Amino acid sequence: MARSVRLVPALTAVQLALALTACGSGVHGTPGGSGVLDPYFPKAGNGGYDVGHYALRLAYDPDAHHLTGTATLTARATKDLSAFNLDLRGLEVGEVTVGGVTARWNRAGQELTVRPRDDIERDETFRVTVRYSGVPEAVTDPDGSEEGWLRTTDGVLALGEPTGSMTWFPGNHHPSDKAAYDLTVTVPRGLRAVSNGELLSERTAGDRTVARWHTTEPMASYLATLAIGDFDISRSRTGDGLPVYTAVDPAETEASRPVLARIPEVLRWAERRFGPYPFSSSGAIVDRAADVGYALETQTRPVFPGAPDLTLLVHELAHQWYGDSVTPESWRDMWLNEGFATYAEWLWEEDHGGPSAQETFDGLYSGDAFDTEEAGEAIWEFPPAQPPDAARVSAPPVYGRGAMVLQKVRQAVGDERFWRILRGWADEYRHGNADTADFTAYVEEQAPGTDFEEIWEEWLYGEGKPERP
Ligand code: TRP
Ligand code: ZN
């Protein structure tokens, strides 16, 4: 890979100063680092610690667009630390404490560097609290799409793939660090605050409503969401007793009702194909933010920009297994999300009287599936496991050609073994992280004696359109 030579200081001046003064206690910690070396988003996430829990107390005033927050992170140090970073974009920090003791802090771009009074020892669990406030921003991604804190006509919608969640809370904003969450959100009376997981309580007193949301299973921060506004709420259960909570923009209620009513049916089908549903609740949020035309697989409760069609519902619910429960190790591994969710659409069709996955594959290969020649060509632009840059981590090859990789595996191992691989993959890395090498190793292990070399080389990593379908 061609790389231009750039002079990047290993440590920022602030980090260097902190490192040099970090000799007060017996522990000689060093700064944790400002990123986790993600190949596409190098500043996302931070080194030196692992967050186990986020407690976010938020209050939002939609008229002033003003957010007040207190974030308490419980984390474990993975090395001796004199300082560590959090990612936070915009907003004003009022105070930072570590273990209840005021800490020094400094900001540079999205990096909030925290210098606790005492060093933190490796393996120590520590609690950092950040008080902050301000008017959160929207973010324009390298691919031009909008995410972050997005205004709607009656409130706000927070979307975080890949880096938007740092606009509303400080954290380790990289998919490799998953954590449990508790959100307490105060909004003006008359509005609702809807997030991931389960609603523990919702109380109105005076002119305010306070909602408490809890997410037990580990969640990557890009899958966190918060929708504030006027919603039609519906609460029900699947036949298995799984709670289903949907929040729909009243303008979309009627159009959404028939398809959202099929959530239990889609989940039942997906459990048969992919194994047990990985979370404690389900549902959906239908809300319209300006300039957002995409859906997002926010954990337990995917967000749709309008009434979804059935295929989109299948796609976002399939992500609960592939993406949300089994989460990519880095942004390079996006095809493990989008290739699987696209394949789930093909499978749904196959299982419901539509074309077989092989027929769908053939249509993509021949180009017949596309309206234009350009669209047909776009999936061959780069190999799914190696997007050329951050602007293309969600480009067509990651979806269509990613799904084609799975069909190639199916061709190689046969249906029975392929079903075992789909379920086994979700089970093996349940609530964890995985990368492409984990995937190829897993498939090889499940099918000893089958040679996958050509599939990986041509379909996963190879440039251009493979010669044989
Ligand atoms: N994950 C979304 C979906 O397929 C699409 C998406 C939105 C996306 N923003 C992204 C994918 C950023 C990768 C990166 O439903
Ligand atoms: Zn997707």
DSSP string for residues in 147-182: EEEEEETTEEEEE-TTTGGGGTS-B--STTS-EEEE
Helix, strand, or coil (residue 451): coil
Average pLDDT for runs of 10 along the chain of length 469: 38 45 59 88 95 98 97 98 98 98 97 98 98 97 96 97 98 98 98 98 98 98 98 98 98 98 98 98 96 96 98 98 98 98 98 98 97 95 97 96 98 98 98 98 97 98 95
Residue with the nearest Cα to atom 3 of ligand 1?
Answer: 296
Strand partners, 95: 131
Return the ligand 1 atom nearest residue 141 CA.
12
Would you state the pLDDT for residue 12?
47
Q: What is the pLDDT of residue 20?
A: 43
Q: Ligand 1 center to residue 188 CA distance, Å?
A: 31
Of the candidates 178, 176, 170, the one whose C-alpha atom is nearest the C-alpha of residue 87 is 170
If you take atom 15 of ligand 1, which residue's CA is the nearest one? 296
The CB of 324 under 6 Å from ligand 1? The reply is no
pLDDT computed for residue 36 by the predictor = 82
pTM score: 0.94
CA 337 to ligand 2 centroid distance, Å: 6
Mutate which of 173, 394, 398 for ligand 1 pocket (most atoms within 8 A of beta carbon): 394
- Ligand 2 centre to CA of 47 (Å) is 28
Segments making up each domain of the chain, as ranges = 31-228, 231-309, 327-460
Query: How many angstroms does the Cα of residue 89 sit away from the middle of ligand 2?
Result: 25
The domain defined by 231-309 folds into Zincin-like (3.30.2010)
Nearest CA to 34 out of 75, 80, 83 is that of: 83
Position 293 scores a pLDDT of 94
Is the distance from CB of 112 to CB of 91 less than 8 angstroms? no
Q: Verify whether ligand 1 is closer than 6 Å to residue 259 (CB atom).
A: no
Closest CA relative to residue 290, chosen from 247, 249, 331, 260? 249
The reported pLDDT for the residue numbered 34 is: 86
- Please calculate the CA angle 263-265-270 and round it to the nearest 5 degrees: 90
CATH C-level class of 31-228: mainly beta
Per-residue CA distances from 68 to 275, 396, 401 (Å) = 40, 39, 43
3-class DSSP state for residue 18?
helix
Q: Which helix (H) or strand (E) holds 443?
A: helix 436-446
Query: Which residues are within 5 Å of ligand 2 (an ion), measured at CB?
Result: 338, 341
Question: Which protein residue has the closest C-alpha to ligand 1 atom 13?
Answer: 394
Superfamily holding 327-460: Neutral Protease Domain 2 (1.10.390.10)
- Closest atom, ligand 1, to C-alpha of 295: 15
Distance of CA 103 from the midpoint of ligand 2 (Å): 40
pLDDT, position 11: 45
Nearest CA to ligand 1 atom 5: 296
Q: pLDDT value at position 33? A: 87
Which of 159, 333, 338, when mutated, tests ligand 1's pocket best, judged by the most ligand atoms within 8 Å of its CB?
338
Q: Please report which ligand is nearest the Cα atom of 298.
A: 1
- Residue 393 beta carbon below 6 angstroms from any ligand 1 atom: yes
Q: Which residues, including other chains, have CB under 8 Å from residue 205's CB and lie 6 or more apart?
A: none
Distance (angstroms) between ligand 2 centre and the Cα of 23 equals 47
Q: Which ligand is nearest to the CA of 342?
A: 2
Ligand 2 centre and the CA of 183: distance in Å?
A: 25
Helix (H) or strand (E) holding 113: strand 111-115
C-beta of residue 296 within 8 angstroms of C-beta of residue 245: no
